[in-house]
Amino acid sequence: MKAFFVEHYGKDTLLALGDRPEPDMRDNEVLVEIRAASVNQLDAKIMSGAFKQIIPHKMPLTLGHDLAGVVLGTGPRVTAFKTGDEVYGCLPVNRIGAFAERVTVDESYLAPKPGNLTMEEAASLPVVAITAWQALVVIAGVTPGQRVFIQAGSGGVGTIAIQLAKHLGAEVATTAGAASADALRGLGADIVVDYRKEDFAAVVKACDAALMSQDEASLAKAITILKPGGTAISISGPPDPEFARQAGLNQLFGLVMWGLSYRIRAAARRRGVRYAFLFMQPGGAQLRELNALLESGVIRPVIDRVFPFAQTPEALAYVASGRAKGKVVVGVGGARAG
């Protein structure tokens, strides 16, 4: 089968298109013909080797986390899906490979594709939707009447997090360029701070939660806008000791994470707030919970552009540039469905 893969880690590594072996299917796995896959910043980071000490991969490595497609076959222990089902999901980080024509995946990582979404729309969602859910529902426990700050509202995570926070009953503040302000208000943002002209920490105050996705300097500012008892959640780091524990890393890595996050955790303690690093854990169960919101239109996908499969390297470069508004998707193959 055709797939895009890398031969080694490195900032200058290029994706190569070539033939890869057909995937083996275990008893609890589903064979999926991939119709669409989306591109994430995480793909570029893994390709560069940013996580090679924590999540080592065998080379050559087929990249890609998000997918939507059609079930071609199932293992004997699969109970949730049958051949012909339309599904979507996020592959586990130790078995990625969505930039390919086919993949096998444990059924627990998949959910039925919402019937009102195209394959491209469905493929755009798993990483960002699960990230938003785990940040706002699982970690922050957002409730009606609270105020939530979401950095980089026009990004992949931001566009979904704004909609989810509004659904949860929160007042939502975000940052974006002026050109994106009206679109983000349409998604539910109450306050849009033009990051080119204003410092969000001077405009936004008394938040119960802040979802951060950029540098540590802005994370430190986020600590200052929280109410006592509030939570700052970062999806860009620094990783903390809790992440090391959940990931099952050894004591040495735990000490490294303790050191990397010490400054921000200490700043949070001084202000009576909490810091949490989020490395999204994929799973079909949370996608199933999100399906009702997607099917009712409470949350809708936001796609910047769709690239053909042959242009997957260009799609990855576009995402890495930081210019995308919403998600970037590649159409992989098969008949268009949805």
Residue among 128, 134, 94 nearest 300 (CA): 128
pLDDT at position 336: 39
So what's the pLDDT on residue 335?
39
The pLDDT value recorded for residue 197 is 96
Q: How confident is the model at residue 334 (pLDDT cuts 50, 70, 90)?
A: low
Mean pLDDT of 149-154: 97
Six-digit token pair at 272?
């009576």
Q: What is the pLDDT of residue 337?
A: 37
Which two tokens mark 76? 């004997």
Please name every residue paired with 36 in a beta bridge, in sequence order, or none if there are none: 68, 331
The CATH H-level superfamily of 2-125+301-331 is: Medium-chain alcohol dehydrogenases, catalytic domain (3.90.180.10)
As a whole number of angstroms, the distance between CA 108 and CA 174 comes to 33
At 192-244, the pLDDT tens digits run 999 999 999 999 999 999 999 988 899 999 999 999 999 999 999 899 888 88
* Measured distance CA(329)–CA(38) in Å, rounded: 4
**Residue 187: predicted pLDDT:** 98
Ranges in the chain annotated CATH 3.90.180.10: 2-125+301-331
Nearest to 311 by CA among 291, 296, 331: 331
- In the chain, ranges of CATH 3.40.50.720 domains: 127-277
**pTM beyond 0.75:** yes
Q: Measured between alpha carbons, how far is 183 from 176 in angstroms, rounded to an integer? A: 10
User: pLDDT tens digits, residue range 75-99?
Assistant: 999 999 999 999 999 999 889 999 9
Tens of pLDDT along 269-313?
999 999 999 999 999 999 999 999 999 999 999 999 999 999 999
Q: How confident is the model at residue 248 (pLDDT cuts 50, 70, 90)?
A: confident
Q: Which residue has the tokens 């080797």?
A: 49
pLDDT in tens, 1-42: 999 999 999 988 889 999 999 999 999 999 999 999 999 998
195 phi, psi to nearest 5 deg? -65, -20
* Alpha helices (H) in the chain, listed in sequence order: 41-48, 119-123, 126-133, 156-167, 181-187, 200-203, 216-224, 241-246, 251-270, 284-295, 312-320
Please tell us whether the domain made up of 127-277 is placed in CATH 3.40.50.720.
yes
162-178 tens-digit pLDDT = 999 999 999 999 999 99
